[in-house]
A and B are shown apart, each in its own frame.
Chain A
Amino acid sequence: MLKAFRCQSGFLFRQKSTQLVMLVLFILVAACYITDVFRYQGSDVIYMIHPMKLLLLSYDRVVFDATMAIELIRLYPLLAAAAAGLACAKEKELGLDTCIRARIGGMRYSLTKLAAVFFVTTVVFLIPFLSEIVLNCIAFPTNAAGGNIGMNIYDPEYVQAVRADLFPGLYLYSPYLYAVIRTILFALLSGVTAAFTAALSMVIRVKYRMLYLIPPMLLFYASENSSVFHRNAGSATKWYHYIFLFDNSDRDMKTFFLVLAGLVIFSGAAAYRCGRRDCLS
């Protein structure tokens, strides 16, 4: 099982689409980093913003420069699904899945494929954003304490606002550790999206691969528009409020985790069903 997983992951890492998605993410991260370097060159440390609040994933950024954040938000559904999510569909078109199934067994193939898609997408989304954390720590003063809304990060009022964020204790303990953990969670969410796309391609067969990109896009579209159905609930429903760092919008975490659990269960069930099905049917 482990050998098959390693083999599938290696194959996915070498795919053009995976490398292209990683390149796009690196370009976004680099554009964000270079803009900040030029913006803050020669600034006094007391006017500087905390390095973690300059990250591309930081919600505080959108106050003064929303360009890269908007690019990420718009491209994310496409990138998350396209990185490795279409690999299974491609193998089916080539008939490659039949060969691999014959060698390692149907169940082992589908489970390792799903795991590999999840793992590869997670890594693809993790490396650029972790690199950005390291780069920001090198380029900007780590003792800068300013926040973009004009408050010191240790200001009691700000701390109160931060309590609405995910893992407030961790944030107050160390913003750096908080950024790393939230980045890992973001990458895991990307992995789940890709696994969902791959699982769909295991159970539903369409002639053109690009049609598999529609369901994840619809999923994110539904999240962005779900406020229509509970307008007075008061909680943020847009998906990016759940992945952006330092975002203290009121969120409905229970629904978010339920949707996430639903996606994971669907993906697992689809892989199991695909594993049991005759590949020639």
Chain B
Amino acid sequence: MRGGKIGETIITAVGGGMVQALKYVNPYKGELFLSELVQQLSGSRGDLPMACNFLDLTEFGIRTLPGLIFCALLGMELYRHYCTASVYVFSRCPKRIRWYRNEAFMILLYAGIFQSLMLLTVIGVTLLRYTILVDMAGIILFLFHDTLYSLCLYCITLSVNLLAVYFGSSMAYEGTAGFCLVLTGLLALGQNETGKNLLYFNPAAHLVLCWHTSSFAMIRKVLQNPYPHMNLEGSLGLFVIFGIVITIAGAVILNNHDLLVSDMESNG
């Protein structure tokens, strides 16, 4: 992957960011803090944290869709070398793990670019319409949001690529995107008391910033935090672990995968 998908990535990020800014950022008094803005991008509505009801969860699902489109765009960047020209690629690049490390890093970089660009677009469009009051907590939350969502996108995109090696691109994407959408839907279990305990085990719940607390006192003040056991640093650690596990699993899979295996894309 050498800049092949940068155009599509930018268009998706800017388009997604513009829609999010226009639809979800509408402060009542015409001005809002950066911390409030960042929380609105991950589910909260103004001063209210995201609830586990139909309206909030469908809106949260809609917000995640640009990310899924990004996964579709980047979901075959690594896999395409395997299904069409693997012998050619690897005869010229015998150190497969090093090649994989570079490709995985590029996916992480693209995920970071996509997420940062989307957030900056949201801020840019909001600045044209309203006043943003920049606060320190907002800047830290912005960085947390950017890192969390970038890592999440990286994990999903890399999973699509790795599953595609075995099942073909469409089946891998349908499976991975379907799984993510199911996890998003399962947040509705938080409607009752028993289900609330299950939220901690749902990775999608760790993407909702307003449900978290933090070790930083200034962030604690701005987060609504209905679930006291979820904290931002813990969620970040969780996605870092996910990322490391998927990257190592990918290295093992690709190192042992037969280059002359039949083309999964056309089942040929």
Interface residues of A (CB under 8 A from B): 17, 24, 62-63, 65-67, 69-71, 73-75, 78, 82, 86, 90, 93-94, 207-214, 217-218, 221, 224-225, 227-228, 238, 240
B185 lies within 8 A of A93 (CB) = no
Listed A/B pairs (24) with beta-carbon separation below 8 Å: A17-B171, A62-B54, A66-B188, A67-B188, A67-B189, A69-B54, A70-B54, A70-B184, A71-B185, A74-B184, A78-B177, A208-B80, A209-B169, A211-B72, A211-B73, A213-B174, A214-B72, A214-B73, A217-B65, A221-B62, A221-B65, A225-B62, A228-B23, A240-B58
Contact of B72 among A66, A70, A210, A227 (CB under 8 A): A210
Determine if B53 is an interface residue (Cβ-Cβ < 8 Å): yes
Determine if B31 is an interface residue (Cβ-Cβ < 8 Å): no
Nearest CB of B to A208, in Å: 4
B188 lies within 8 A of A210 (CB) = no
A71 to B181, CA, bound (A): 7
Determine if B170 is an interface residue (Cβ-Cβ < 8 Å): yes
The winner among B170, B178, B182 for most chain A CB atoms within 10 A is B170
Which of B89-97, B148-156, B239-247, B260-268 sits within the interface? B260-268
Contact of B174 among A66, A78, A238 (CB under 8 A): A78
Nearest CB of B to A249, in Å: 12
Nearest CB of A to B171, in Å: 7
Residues of B within 8 A of A66 (CB): 53-54, 57, 188, 191
Question: What 10 additional pairs, Cβ within 8 angstroms, besides A74-B182, A228-B19?
Answer: A65-B191, A71-B185, A78-B174, A78-B181, A82-B170, A94-B268, A210-B172, A213-B72, A224-B62, A225-B62
B69 lies within 8 A of A208 (CB) = no
Nearest CB of A to B70, in Å: 10
Determine if B76 is an interface residue (Cβ-Cβ < 8 Å): yes
Residues of A within 8 A of B185 (CB): 67, 70-71, 73-75
A212 to B178, CA, bound (A): 16
Residues of A within 8 A of B73 (CB): 211, 214
Could you give, for residues 151-173 of chain B, a 1 whenever the CB lies within 8 Å of some chain A CB and a 0 otherwise? 00000000000000000111111
A209 lies within 8 A of B178 (CB) = no
Contact of B168 among A24, A63, A209, A238 (CB under 8 A): A209
Determine if B50 is an interface residue (Cβ-Cβ < 8 Å): no
The winner among A208, A210, A218 for most chain B CB atoms within 10 A is A210
Interface of B is mostly: helix
B23 lies within 8 A of A210 (CB) = no
Determine if B238 is an interface residue (Cβ-Cβ < 8 Å): no
Residues of B within 8 A of A74 (CB): 58, 61, 181-182, 184-185
A210 to B69, CA, bound (A): 10
In residues 84-133 of chain B, which contact A (Cβ within 8 Å)? none
B169 lies within 8 A of A227 (CB) = no
A212 to B184, CA, bound (A): 23
Determine if B22 is an interface residue (Cβ-Cβ < 8 Å): yes
Q: With contacts A74-B181, A209-B168, A214-B72 known, is A227 near B23, CB below 8 A?
A: yes
A59 to B170, CA, bound (A): 31
The winner among A63, A74, A213, A217 for most chain B CB atoms within 10 A is A74
B266 lies within 8 A of A94 (CB) = yes
Determine if B68 is an interface residue (Cβ-Cβ < 8 Å): yes
B186 lies within 8 A of A67 (CB) = yes
Nearest CB of A to B121, in Å: 14
